[in-house]
Amino acid sequence: MHNHFNGLKTAGLFGVIFAVLLSIGALIGPGYIWIFALLGVAMTAYGYWNSDKIAIKAMKAYPVSEAQAPEMYRIVRELSNTAGKPMPRLYISPTQAPNAFATGRNPQNAAVCCTEGILGLLDERELRGVLGHELMHVYNRDILTSSVAAALAGIIMSVAQMLMWMPFFGGNSEDRPNPLVLIAMAILAPAAAMLIQAAISRTREFDADEDGAKLTGDPLALASALQKLERGVQAAPLAPEPKVVNASHMMIANPFRAQDISKFMSTHPPTAERVARLQGMAGGPNLR
């Protein structure tokens, strides 16, 4: 079990988001919830099955050969062999914003992508720490976790939109819920769903940090990389375009400037907290 109980926290957050969904169902009736749930399952299946294509397209990434990216290939092959997992496909995104992500529905259909910016920013040891983190997202099946969380949040938002119109349509006034309750739920439920979805993403980042550091055997390398990435993102952030925002939870660092997103809505934990945990794994604060 992880020292910070991130798995239990993720399960608890899923319980809360299910509770929000069931509360809406109690207001409007289970029949409507089942309709939206079926749509959500279909959306989840599509997004999960095509997760690698969606993220790679959003970042305009291109596949690279071993001759084009020998360092990436050497590190990823070594770490994959250490983990006893197949080698993922490797991509590079032509942007100077420093970042990396891994995606794919399972280790047999995985892809790892680095931006040109991160390859120019980090040394080999730090890059190894980053790639270990990204591989653990695949091995921990975090794409499935994030896909389910996104689907549940999407169902809640869709039903909440319907709640806005329920006070004006259908049934006798005695049968309809209190209009003020419906309007309050329509406003609060989507906000709660987005907050919980972001919190789930943050717990998975902590897990990938810890497991990736165990895979590489070098938590301080990842800590050093995260500090460089935070400074690098502030100097060269990505624009918060819809496609990039949808893929941002997969990236190792929040790709946007701090002022572009609130602390509670961020899909990434504060860098200082991540670094402190990694330093704790190494037994001290000394960084290169």
pLDDT digits (tens, 9 = 90+) for 118-130: 999 999 999 999 9
Which residues, at least 6 apart from 226, have a Cβ–Cβ distance to it below 8 Å?
252, 253, 271, 274, 275, 278
Q: Which residue has the tokens 């959500």?
A: 40
CA distance linking residue 176 with residue 167, whole number of Å: 7
Amino acid at 149: A
In the chain, what are the domain boundaries? 6-282
Report the C-alpha gap between 223 and 208 in whole angstroms: 13
Helix boundaries (H) for the chain: 6-28, 30-49, 51-58, 70-83, 116-121, 124-139, 142-163, 179-216, 219-235, 242-247, 271-282
List, for residues 195-247, the tens digit of each pLDDT value. Answer: 877 888 888 899 999 999 999 999 999 999 999 999 999 999 988 887 787 77
Pick the residue with more confidence: 180 or 98? Answer: 98
Is residue 37 very low, low, confident or very high in pLDDT (cuts 50, 70, 90)? Answer: low
Exactly one of 126, 134, 210, 230 is catalytic; name it: 134
Q: Are 89 and 66 in contact (CB under 8 A)?
A: no
| pLDDT-derived band at 2, boundaries 50, 70, 90 | very low
Judge whether 230 counts as a catalytic residue: no
Q: How far apart are CA 204 and CA 137, in angstroms?
A: 8
**Cα–Cα distance for residue pair 24/190, rounded to 1 Å:** 11
The one-letter amino acid at 132: G
Please state whether 171 falls in left (phi above 0), alpha (psi between -120 and 50) or beta.
left
Mean pLDDT taken over the chain: 81
Q: How confident is the model at residue 93 (pLDDT cuts 50, 70, 90)?
A: very high
The answer to whether 124 and 146 have CB atoms below 8 angstroms apart is no
| Spatial distance between the Cα atoms of 238 and 257, rounded to a whole number of angstroms | 8
